[in-house]
Structure 1
């Protein structure tokens, strides 16, 4: 298992598992399979346009297919949190080397350098495959230029091994039932932030994470509870709620 450790601005180290070549290739093949289906549909529509002698319809279909093919990856990554359909199925996504979501300019650079990574001139993706296979962080040319990396969305730390997943009383009542709106990756990130705080004492990220978590799950922090207690409680509630669902 290859990982990359990224230091946040608050000097908290967060570790991500890097997506391998096989997962990235399979994600691409899934996307191409979607295009194949779209191509077959386009051919059928071309036939209909030819049968009805509709030259306008022919060009509309052709241009529409090309637009989808060219802009698919860019639009998907911008609107699907760094994922295409193939990446989502393979549970991988694009992030910035800072650990944050890539900016618009980073997404654009990744997309523009597809010309080198996947064009016919450069061997239908041979450059991308070689780059991902042999670079230290498994980056294609576009990733190197844009300073992005593709990671696995499955959390590095198994949710069952997360602190605060200790056995809770059977009559435990969650303080924040809204914690169920977190997913495993988000819960693991909360855990990483808490563990980083316990090691370093840097509280800035605790405040930031608490604020983002409150907004995400639409929870209100009770009077007298601080941000650290809030995150610890949310994590306990999440573990309790998800274990109840699994039973």
Structure 2
């Protein structure tokens, strides 16, 4: 999604189904990250006694949580799930990919169930998108 194409193409908001499917893919990836880091910490604890099971769990949790919060700031505003489904999170005005701060802002709200209720409104914009000034579009 380069700048010359975004200015010429009309903006088409991503469907609720694609957004939900992308979120499910990203949640599955976050779970995978959790287990990979937890397994690596467990293997490391054999050689480094300071790496306790609790420390391994915390590292795994924070790695997965970081992906969940910041994934939309990956290149072109596309987490892995969004890239697979050809959608992207972009700034509402500039149509550039989502920044780190926007990704954090929009996904912090996703932790609250009521955030997703807003997606069923006519604008198809979650509460987190409103705060972060982002939209999710087809690419």
Length-normalised TM-score, structure 1: 0.45
Q: Does 1:133 align with 2:120?
A: yes
State which of 143, 148, 163 in structure 1 corresponds to 2:134. 148
Q: What is the DSSP-based 3-state SS (H/G/I as helix, E as strand, rest coil) of the residue aligned with 1:149?
A: strand
Distance in 2 between the 1:50 and 1:102 partners? Answer: 39
Q: Per-residue CA shift, 1:84-129, capped at 9, x if unaligned?
A: 001100110011222421564xx414423433322xxx3xxx3232
Q: 1:60 to 1:76 in 2, by over 3 A?
A: same
- Which has the higher Rg, Structure 1 or Structure 2? 1
Deviation for aligned residue 1:79: 3.4
Gaps of 5+ in 2: 1-6
Tell me the SS of whatever aligns to 2:77.
Answer: coil
Structure 1 position 111 matched with structure 2 position 111: no
1:65-104, aligned counterparts within 5 Å? Answer: 65-73=60-68, 75-102=70-97, 104=99
Deviations 1:155-177 (A, max 9, x none): xxxxxxxxxxxxxxxxxxxxxxx
Larger RCO (CA within 8 A; separation ≥ 6): 2
SS in 2 for 1:69: helix
- Give the secondary structure class of the aligned counterpart of 1:15: coil
Aligned counterparts of 1:110 and 1:42: Cα–Cα separation in 2: 23
Q: Which has the higher helix share?
A: 2
**8 Å contact from structure 2 (residues 73, 103) kept in 1:** no
| 8 A Cα contact 1:83 1:93, kept in partner | yes
Offset at 1:16? Answer: 1.4
Q: 1:13 Cα deviation (Å)?
A: 7.8
**TM-score of the superposed pair, with normalisation by structure 2:** 0.74
**Counterparts of 1:39 and 1:73, CA distance in 2:** 11
Question: How far apart, CA to CA, are the structure 1 residues paired with 2:31 and 2:88?
Answer: 23
* Equivalent-residue separation in structure 1 for 2:61 and 2:67 (angstroms): 10
Task: State whether residues 23 and 81 of structure 2, in contact with CA within 8 Å, keep that contact through their aligned partners in structure 1.
Answer: yes
Computed over aligned residues only, the root mean square deviation of the Cα atoms, in angstroms, reads 3.1
CA distance in 1, matches of 2:64, 2:8: 38
Question: 1:47 and 1:65, CA in 2 relative to 1: closer, same or farther beyond 3 A?
Answer: closer
